[in-house]
Amino acid sequence: MGGKACIRGMRVTVGMIVGQIGAGHGIDEILADYPYLEREDVMQALRYAALTPTSGNPPRQ
């Protein structure tokens, strides 16, 4: 996925999940749209996004 953070190796990026939340969709709606995801996948994506810069890439150390 072009170096973007993905959920459990799937073709769903953290940015896709964050974008859905930003558009006003709830977690249950996201899970309905992506039935192969689990609630914890969405929560981890949001935690990851909260801890990384806006570019979506982890900071270099």
Say yes or no to pLDDT of 56 above 90: no
Q: Angle at the Cα of 24 (from 40 to 36), degrees rounded to 5?
A: 35
pLDDT digits (tens, 9 = 90+) for 12-34: 999 999 999 999 999 999 999 99
Q: What are the Cα distances from residue 61, in Å, to 9, 11, 33, 55, 58?
A: 23, 27, 36, 16, 9
**CATH class of the domain defined by 1-56:** mainly alpha
